[in-house]
Amino acid sequence: MARVYGKLFDDGRDGILAIQPSAPFFGCPRHEKHYPVVNGEIDIELMPTPGGIFYNVGFKAPGDTRRTDFTLRWRIAQTDSVDITPNAKPPEPIAQKATSTVDRVQMRRLTTELADALECVDRLERDLEQAKRREADLSTKFEAHKRVVDSALEERDRQISVLSEQTTPQIKTVIKEVPVPPEPLEARIEFLEREVKRLNDINDSYYKSVLELHQLKLERAQSAHLPTYVEEMPGTPQQRLINKLRAK
């Protein structure tokens, strides 16, 4: 880490110094960091910047929550400290020791691995942002679907309640008293029914006998060519039946 200190503003203002790397590198994420500015001066620590990478620097007043406007670009060398005071003497770089061929190869390999790791981190961060966007979209769709389902269920319950009130059957209890005849009366009724049936059978047999007798008399009269007279009993059903047959 390199100490970065010095006077930024001659008017002695207080505020916040926002610093964000132009690209993430090992040990330094891409996120914006805030450092205090007291009486126009800062005293902070920053990671030295690799080649092609710099810090975007912007100043914000206390309580300012708007987006930061970056107006400076800083490159931090491999030194112990950097004085950012205007017209300050530039720091002397740390003397580099001679390295052997093995050390150079090892450093090149580590640099390649570091670049691959940074690329992987950047790719993972992009995937994470996409996953967050998909999650937010799915959450929105789920909430909308939930509202539609809740509304449909409420409407169904309301319709069921209305139908239940309309189709509730009205139950009426009717008490009907049926008299039960006593046992001697039932026996008398059965006896009379048997007698009526027997008399009807006798009456049917009588009608059949009268018809057969009338048929025999007709056949005998036709064979003798003589008028046939049948004794009539005036006012009886048998008389009316015989007269009707004779009329044929």
Q: Which domain holds residue 221?
A: 183-238
Query: Is the Cβ–Cβ distance between 9 and 40 less than 8 Å?
Result: yes
Average pLDDT along the chain? 80
Q: What is the pLDDT of residues 3-44, one digit of tens each?
A: 899 888 888 889 999 999 999 888 888 888 999 999 989 899
Give 98's contacts (C-beta < 8 A, 6+ positions apart): none
Q: Which of 57, 83, 109 is the C-terminal boundary of a domain?
A: 83
75 shares a domain with 114: no
Gap between the Cα atoms of 176 and 236, Å rounded? 46
Please tell me the pTM assigned to this model. 0.36
178 secondary structure, DSSP code: -
Residue 89 lies in a domain: no
78 shares a domain with 106: no
Query: Is the Cβ–Cβ distance between 125 and 29 less than 8 Å?
Result: no
Gap between the Cα atoms of 201 and 142, Å rounded? 90
Joined together, the tokens standing for residue 51 give: 């080649």
108 shares a domain with 61: no
120 shares a domain with 67: no
Q: What is the pLDDT of residues 63-96, one digit of tens each?
A: 888 888 888 898 988 888 888 887 655 555 544 4
Angle at 162 (CA atoms; ends 157, 168), nearest 5 degrees: 120
CA atoms within 13 A on the CB side of 98: 1
Number of domains in the chain: 3
Q: Which of 15, 49, 83 is the C-terminal boundary of a domain?
A: 83
Gap between the Cα atoms of 137 and 202, Å rounded? 101
Q: What is the pLDDT of residues 168-182, one digit of tens each?
A: 667 778 887 767 667
Residue 171 lies in a domain: no
Joined together, the tokens standing for residue 75 give: 């490159």
Residue 197 lies in a domain: yes
Residue 222 lies in a domain: yes
